[in-house]
Amino acid sequence: MKTSPAHFPKIKTIAYEGPGAAHALAFRHYNPDEIVDGKSLSEHMRFSIAYWHSFRGTGSDPFGPGTIVRPWETGKDPVSVAKVRMNAAFEFHQKIRAPFWAFHDRDIAPEGSTLAQSNKNLEAVVAHAKQLQKATGVKLLWGTANLFSHPRYMCGASTNPDAHVFAYAAAQVKSALDATQELGGENYVFWGGREGYETLLNTNLKREQDHLAAFLHMAVDYAKSIGFKGQFLIEPKPKEPTKHQYDFDVASGIAFLRTYGLEKQFKFNIETNHATLAGHTFQHEIEVAASQNMLGSIDANSGDLLLGWDTDQFNTDVKELTLAMTSILKAGGLGSGGFNFDAKLRRPSIDAEDLFHAHIGGMDAYALAFKLARKILADGKFDSFVADRYASFDTGFGKDIATGKANFKSLEKLVLGKLGEPTPKSGKQEYLENLLNAYLHG
Ligand code: XLS
Ligand code: NI
Ligand code: NI
């Protein structure tokens, strides 16, 4: 089967032209074929396109309708339109050279008037996606279920006060897992869209968290029963659409998973914009997950620090990404995860070409950050500074503290005796910030 090359007729496959590239539609830093440590850059980066933004996004916002009109969005039968749209998406993947995609069930296939009809639509489109994956070599990074758009989920899905809604959500995730399995998905994501609350006046917080855990246990059991080997990922976000979401950030996610005995089955999908909404840096969330060996995947985007919502912009901030990348590389990479562009065009960016500029910018920024982070880690200057900073815990009484051999009494004796008052040591933040800038700007 061939994907018809009719949807982006004016745009050729994006070529790597290096930092001095003359064309705007060219990569300056991302050379997918470049070999680094025996692996291509494409294999290192595992870039993924978010179907919902790039192929379902219309530019609508709470103040007005969509602005983006794609030529393939015509026809009466929504399942046929879904298939043609998917042809366009896979053509885009090939031209932008992104080897992975990610979807919600309802992005790829229309919701029917009954669950049975929705399942039928999904199966038809999944069969089409399977053929496209085979024809293009594009693979599925992860699947997920949209448990937040339909009005039935207005008070949550697995945390809904009505057990009937819980049951519906369970049935929907069952099919989304089947679809992900059918398409060879390497991960499955749970983002708690409306799994939170608007007001505690009508909410039993403890019961809702118990139900969320029961739901995730059912998902684990079902995945096992169908032989799904992909990694389960929680995608934390503190708020939006609800005022308070239960998976607030990675730290609260870890506490939740451990409380309910789910910590072995889940890792985290960390989204830059969700980190900043929670009052953290992107790198902070990565470090917290990595510290518990729970770093799974990245939803690559950026927020606007002047705005309090998820603006889902393409991230071109090389400094932020370089810092994040040092933490990711130190953690040993993302394993079965990848960098999924959960990012959308700005409302006035209505040209098909803008979709290319957006992803080129994101891919180049990440590839540059990857190279800078590798250099930083190879030089080891920051690492040796940090190691020195904690060196007092490597020997003597410091080692006794770290290995559990010291106690309040033994330490009191030392301080009253030969230790006395500690000598202050500089944290050298400004020196380190300058060192970082030297890597970024020479
Ligand atoms: C929304 C989330 C969502 C998840 C998938 O803020 O980022 O897009 O990635 O459900
Ligand atoms: Ni996301
Ligand atoms: Ni988001």
Question: In this structure, what token pair is assigned to residue 205?
Answer: 């917080």
pTM: 0.97
Ligand nearest to the backbone CA of 240:
1
Residues with CB under 5 A from ligand 3 (ion): 271, 310
For residue 144, the SS3 value is strand
Is the Cβ atom of 172 under 6 angstroms away from ligand 1?
A: no
Q: 105, 107, 247, 312: which is the annotated catalytic residue?
A: 107
Q: Is 191 in the pocket of ligand 1 (CB under 6 A)?
A: yes
Q: Which ligand is nearest to the CA of 106?
A: 1
Is-contact 196 256, C-beta < 8 A?
no
Return d(Cα 180, Cα 177) in angstroms, integer.
5
Tens place of pLDDT per residue across the chain (442 aa) = 555 668 999 999 999 999 999 999 999 999 999 999 999 999 999 999 999 999 999 999 999 999 999 999 999 999 999 999 999 999 999 999 999 999 999 999 999 999 999 999 999 999 999 999 999 999 999 999 999 999 999 999 999 999 999 999 999 999 999 999 999 999 999 999 999 999 999 999 999 999 999 999 999 999 999 999 999 999 999 999 999 999 999 999 999 999 999 999 999 999 999 999 999 999 999 999 999 999 999 999 999 999 999 999 999 999 999 999 999 999 999 999 999 999 999 999 999 999 999 999 999 999 999 999 999 999 999 999 999 999 999 999 999 999 999 999 999 999 999 999 999 999 999 999 999 999 999 7
Alpha carbon of 314 to ligand 3 centroid (Å): 12
Q: Catalytic: which of 104, 128, 211, 274?
A: 104
Tell me if residue 104 is catalytic: yes
CB 133 within 8 A of CB 140: yes
Cα(208)–Cα(245) distance, integer angstroms = 11
Cβ(89)–Cβ(101) below 8 Å:
yes
**DSSP secondary-structure letter at 152?**
G
